[in-house]
Amino acid sequence: MTDQPPVIEINNLHKAYGPLEVLKGVSVKAPRGHVISLIGSSGSGKSTLLRCCNLLEDSQEGDLRFNGEAVTWKGTGHNRRPADPKQVLRIRTNLSMVFQQFNLWAHMTILQNVMEAPLTVLRRDRAEVEAAARAYLDKVGIGDKCDVYPAQLSGGQQQRAAIARGLCMEPEALLFDEPTSALDPELEQEVVKVIKDLAAEGRTMMIVTHDMKLAADVSDHVVFLHQGLIEEQGAPDALFGAPKSERLRGFLSATHAD
């Protein structure tokens, strides 16, 4: 099975906003069943990389592949766009994104939130989707909250609902953008537990996080970004236990000081 292509493969990705270069040629792979954590200071390009991966942002140069299938592009530089809207939709439905701000629909119950995308995007059977949604809400520990609205939940419960919503799409990979940074420490642990359980199941995940303990505990591979480039990467034991670069050592000592 090792000859399977990575679920996500990013090669030499460049992204700029006008003259500001945010990613300067980044390459990352997420093999099936692996957890890749992206760490680095604010402004290092972590979240931008994740958004480019999900085609929420257009990159100016470089290749993106999903299960070996290359994204097709038209135009060049700042005019480069994905060429095939159907391909974009197919890729997005296979990459569930969990945002820092939970992005739940305020006017829908938690169950309705989780069911919405499989019903409207995938056109799946309602009874089948409801059964799956209830099972995923149980899985993340809020099965008893199906009929309440987001405003009635704590931040940790809302983020777990957002994870259940992502899972209900039955994606090839989950993308987490700072999933715990908007939460108080005690609520953060509820979400960390869910992410650890998903990692133990062998889910393919790419996680942007400021939580070094989470990155150390769940990752197969950690990527440290600095000013739009990969400064250092490797297994978590090596990266956290014996960092080679001065910048990574400085970053880790600053995060421990926090």
CB atoms under 10 Å from CB of 180, counted, come to 24
What is the 8-class DSSP label of residue 101? S
Whether residue 256 is predicted with pLDDT greater than 90 in this model: the reply is no
Whether 257 has a pLDDT exceeding 70, the answer reads no
Q: What are the extents of the domains in the chain? A: 1-91+219-258
pTM of this structure: 0.93
Q: Are strands 95-98 and 73-74 parallel, antiparallel or unpaired?
A: unpaired
The answer to whether 80 touches 73, Cβ cutoff 8 Å, is yes
Candidate from 139-153, 157-171, 195-209, 243-257 with smallest mean pLDDT: 243-257
What is the mean pLDDT of the segment spanning 38-61?
Answer: 94
Q: Which amino acid is at 166?
A: G
Radius of gyration of the chain (CA): 18
70-84, 124-138, 148-162, 181-195: least confident range: 181-195
The 10s digit of each residue's pLDDT in 9-18 is 999 999 999 9
207, β-bridge pairs: 37, 176
- Mean model confidence pLDDT for the chain: 94
pLDDT digits (tens, 9 = 90+) for 200-242: 999 999 999 999 999 999 999 999 999 999 999 999 999 999 9
Question: What is the distance between the alpha carbons of residues 25 and 113, in angstroms, rounded to a whole number?
Answer: 37
Q: Say yes or no to pLDDT of 57 above 80.
A: yes
Amino acid at 164: A
Give 11-59 as a DSSP string: EEEEEEETTEEEEEEEEEEE-TT-EEEEE-STTSSHHHHHHHHTTSS--
Cβ atoms within 10 Å, residue 162: 27
Q: Does domain 1-91+219-258 have CATH number 3.40.50.300?
A: yes
Q: What percent of the chain is predicted at pLDDT more than 70? A: 98
Residue 220 phi, psi (nearest 5)? -90, -30
